[in-house]
Chain A
Amino acid sequence: MTAKTCPHNKACPLFAKFQVQSFLRIWQMNYCQADYSRCARFVLRSQGKQVPVNLLPNGREVAGLDGPGWD
C-alpha cells in the first residue's frame, strides 16, 4: 500500500505540458492521488532512471507528433 499522494506530485514535468486543467486533474486523481505505484513515470523514477517527458502514467507515450526529431 502506498502513501496517499505521489511524492513527485508537485514537480512532475509532465504536468507543465497540460493546458487544460481538468485533463491534468483526471490523471492526478487516477494516479498521483490514488495508487501511484502503478504510474509508469513513478516506477521509472523510483528505479533511478530518466523519465521521458512524453511518457504517460499509463505507460503509453504521447503519440501523433509527427515531424523531425520525433520517433
Chain B
Amino acid sequence: MDLLHGTWPWWLGALVLSTLTVGFYILARRPLGFSSSLARVLDFKTERRMAKAQAAALRDPAAFDRALREATLAEFGQAAATGCDQDGAPPAAPAIAPRPPWSAQLTFVVMIAVGGFLGAALSGDFALRLDLGAEFARLVAGGGWLWPMLLLAGLLVGFGAQMAGGCTSGHGLSGCSRLQPGSLLATACFFGTAVGVSFLLAWVAS
C-alpha cells in the first residue's frame, strides 16, 4: 500500500483519526478541536493576562483573600459578614483538569501545517501556486474573483465555527464520538451541506 500517493483507504483514515482523537483526549484531557486551539493561540493577550492573575493568586493567597473579602463586602454589604463563621480551610481543590498550556496549543496548530507540508513534500506533490486549479476556476471562481471568494469563504468558516462552538474536528470527531446532540446536529448540517454542494457542482459541471 502506497501511503504517500493517492487517497488512503477509508478504514486507515478512520483508524488514524480515531487514534488522534482518543490520544489527544488522553494527553490533554480535553476534546480535540482545531478551531478552539487556534482561537486560544490567537488570543494570546488573554492567555498572558490569565497567567498573571493565576500567578498573583498563588504568590500571595492572603492578599487574594483580603481582596475577595473587600469585593464581597462591596457586592453584598455587611450581609456577607452576618452569621460569619470562623475562618476555615478553603474547600477541597477543584477536580477540573487543567487546560493544556498555550505553547502546547501553538505546537498543535503549527504542526498541522507542518504535517500537511511534509505530506505534500514527501509525495512529490508540493508546489507553490496561486490558484486552485482549472476546474475550481470554471465552477466556482477564478481570476480576480478567486481571492475575494476565498476571503469570504474563510470568514464564513470562522464565523460558523464560532457560532457553532466548534469546527469539523471538534464536532465531527470529538463531539460525535461522545454522542453530543449538538455535535451530531452540527455534523449532519455541515456534511449534508457539503454533499449537497458536491452534487450541485457535479450537476453544473455535467
Contact = CB atoms under 8 A, between A and B. Distances in A.
Specify whether A and B are partners.
Answer: yes
Interface of A: 10-13, 15-24, 26-27, 30, 47-48, 50, 52-54, 56, 58, 60-65, 67, 69-71
Contacts, number: 113
Contacts of A48: 36, 165-166
Most buried by B among A48, A54, A58: A54
What is the predominant secondary structure among interface residues of chain B facing chain A? helix
Interface string B132-172: 00000000000000000000000000000000011000000
Given A26-B79, A27-B72, A58-B75, A15 B56 contact: no
A6 B56 CA distance: 27
B72 to A, nearest CB: 4
Task: Give the size range of B's interface with the partner.
Answer: 35 or more
5 contacts: A10-B95, A64-B63, A65-B64, A67-B60, A71-B49
Interface stretch (B8-16, B84-92, B113-121, B185-193): B84-92
B57 interface: yes
Interface of B: 36, 40, 46-47, 49-50, 52-57, 59-61, 63-72, 75-76, 79-85, 87-88, 90-96, 99, 165-166
Contacts of B36: 48
Given A26-B72, A69-B56, 12 more contacts: A16-B91, A16-B93, A20-B84, A26-B76, A53-B57, A54-B53, A54-B56, A64-B67, A65-B57, A65-B67, A70-B52, A71-B49
